[in-house]
Amino acid sequence: SATAPSGPLVVLGAGPGGYSAAFRAADLDMEVILIERYPTLGGVCLNVGCIPSKALLHTAAVMEEAQHMAAHGITFGKPKVDLAKLREFKSGVIGKLTGGLAGMAKARKVRVVHGVAEFTGPNTIEVKTEKGAETIQFGQAIIAAGSQSVKLPFMPEDPRVVDSTGALELAAIPKRMLIVGGGIIGLEMGTVYSALGARLDVVEMLDGLMQGADRDLVKVWLKKNEHRFDNIMLKTKTVGAEAKKDGIHVTFEGEGAPKEPQVYDLVLQAVGRSPNGKKIGADKAGVAVTDRGFIEVDSQMRTNVPHIFAIGDIVGQPMLAHKAVHEGHVAAEAAFGEKSYFDARVIPSVAYTDPEVAWVGITEEQAKKEGVKVKKGMFPWAASGRAIANGRDEGFTKLLFDEQTGRIIGGGIVGTNAGDLISEVALAIEMGADSVDIGKTIHPHPTLGESVGLAAEAADGHCTDLP
Ligand code: FAD
């Protein structure tokens, strides 16, 4: 842009935010340098996050489904787990995607520099590469350095205490596993380990698992998953842990705390992620970083230094790949001089558990708290031909409409493939649709997607598929 100093655009970090920004900028014919400390592109999401976890969750879902088939008269033998092969499958999935990114960077003539980077001034960044330090002069920069898992200070250094990255390595299947933190990441990993044979305990400080989602959605997930857990400890904290020969001895405090320390073969810490803002020399560039390590930005993703942008996990919640990608596009376009800005009405959330739990926009609990009057449409999957035919009719689809405007402002779905189904609700919210728009859209029959149209009809009290 006219005000930006001349020189290339540097993108720090090659996760979903960083590579999306770099590719968009290159497509706009900007000169782009993408810096990444790890040998592969893709960041947390592709290497140790979204993608490997979904490869393993797919395996878990197939195993569950095979067991379900017994009720349909088809019985399979007990699954034999070859962990090495499973790890190979997971690595293959990652390799395909990260290799694809490397090819896409090359095709766009994005220069990729591998090494740890730190700003040394408002227009310079130093990268410690294998060949030594390289100082890069830049005209503009986009910070996309992401986040890392939070570690509890009292957890011992021991291979049996892992974060999500360690859990995804799938070194062994524990007999007893403790998940510290009842959020999406912990529960997804629990689903995988439980399918492979582990017994689970989960400990959560708040009064329910999967915070953020409406309790009616979570209840359906819980009913289907209770059998995986020996102990669900709510309003409870881990307060100590000791590595002994027979396992990790963990002590708890709170309403659900067992009196005695519990012994586990594997402890997964999934208590949140903290941004990498304090590790990139941001102060040398004059970029302000909050106490917690976040970087504040405006709607164009600009930091307090106008030629430096920031995107993704490092700018705040929700820490999700699809948010990072959209922010990356905005930052690249703004750096090019376009008047783009981030204006998403909603960002969907999905727990890829079994069943999946997905929600977008306002939740019912939030509406209640904020005094927003909503008209609700519910379609229980027990009335869905497809869900019944799939033998998985435990779910439901819920839509929330603003009572004043009639427009859809939120929705939640629990059931198989809920994560795929929620996109239609997100689109409807973005388009300002009302219940008639959704209800009169012809959905293919028999699909789970029909439940969205039927929930909209239910909101108006004329769903002929309901009693
Ligand atoms: P990141 O992906 O964190 O990438 C940042 C990159 O910057 C990294 O590659 C890092 O190596 C690099 N970097 C950092 N500092 C430096 C430095 N100084 N020098 C050079 N390079 C540096 N989100 C979803 O939307 N859906 C999911 O299903 C999902 N599942 C997840 C499962 C797990 C187990 C985890 C941990 C996360 C999951 N997430 C999911 C979250 C998602 O991975 C993140 O929101 C996303 O990766 C954020 O993208 P980003 O570009 O901001 O940063």
How much distance in Å is there from the Cα of 16 to the middle of ligand 1?
7
How much distance in Å is there from the Cα of 145 to the middle of ligand 1?
8
Q: Which of 58, 114, 445, 462 is catalytic?
A: 445
- Count of beta carbons in the 10 Å neighbourhood of residue 457: 21
- Count of beta carbons in the 10 Å neighbourhood of residue 438: 26
pLDDT in tens, the chain (467 residues): 334 558 999 999 999 999 999 999 999 999 999 999 999 999 999 999 999 999 999 999 999 999 989 999 999 999 999 999 999 999 999 999 999 999 999 999 999 999 999 999 999 999 999 999 999 999 999 999 999 999 999 999 999 999 999 999 999 999 999 999 999 999 999 999 999 999 999 999 999 999 999 999 999 999 999 999 999 999 999 999 999 999 999 999 999 999 999 999 999 999 999 999 999 999 999 999 999 999 999 999 999 999 999 999 999 999 999 999 999 999 999 999 999 999 999 999 999 999 999 999 999 999 999 999 999 999 999 999 999 999 999 999 999 999 999 999 999 999 999 999 999 999 999 999 999 999 999 999 999 999 999 999 999 999 999 98
Q: Which residue has the CA at smallest separation from atom 3 of ligand 1?
A: 146
> Nearest 5°: phi and psi at 193?
-65, -35
Q: Which of 159, 216, 155, 214 is nearest to 181 (CA)?
A: 155
Q: Catalytic annotation on 322?
A: no
Contacts 24+ apart (CB under 8 A), 243-248: 243/156, 243/158, 243/160, 243/161, 247/160, 247/176, 248/156, 248/158, 248/160, 248/161, 248/178
| Ligand 1 pocket member 278 (CB < 6 A) | no
| Ligand 1 pocket member 419 (CB < 6 A) | no
Strands 111-114 and 161-162: unpaired
- Residue 205 contacts residue 237 (beta carbons within 8 Å): yes
C-alpha to C-alpha distance for 462 and 294, rounded to whole angstroms: 48
- Residue 146 contacts residue 312 (beta carbons within 8 Å): yes
| Ligand 1 pocket member 45 (CB < 6 A) | yes
- Residue 213 contacts residue 184 (beta carbons within 8 Å): no
| Ligand 1 pocket member 127 (CB < 6 A) | no
| Ligand 1 pocket member 47 (CB < 6 A) | no
Tell me whether 0.85 is exceeded by the ipTM.
yes
How much distance in Å is there from the Cα of 232 to the middle of ligand 1?
29
How much distance in Å is there from the Cα of 25 to the middle of ligand 1?
20
How much distance in Å is there from the Cα of 165 to the middle of ligand 1?
11
How much distance in Å is there from the Cα of 23 to the middle of ligand 1?
17
Strands (DSSP E) contained in 109-168 are 111-114, 116-121, 124-129, 132-137, 140-143, 147-149, 161-162
> For residue 6, what are the contacts with CB-CB under 8 A and spacing of at least 6?
139
Strands 247-254 and 236-244: antiparallel
Q: Which residue has the CA at smallest separation from atom 52 of ligand 1?
A: 312
C-alpha to C-alpha distance for 186 and 239, rounded to whole angstroms: 18
In testing the pocket of ligand 1, which one of 12, 23, 24, 45 has its CB within 8 Å of the most ligand atoms? 45
Q: Which of 455, 423, 413, 368 is nearest to 217 (CA)?
A: 413
| Ligand 1 pocket member 117 (CB < 6 A) | yes
In testing the pocket of ligand 1, which one of 23, 24, 35, 50 has its CB within 8 Å of the most ligand atoms? 50
Q: What is the token pair recorded at 217?
A: 């959605």
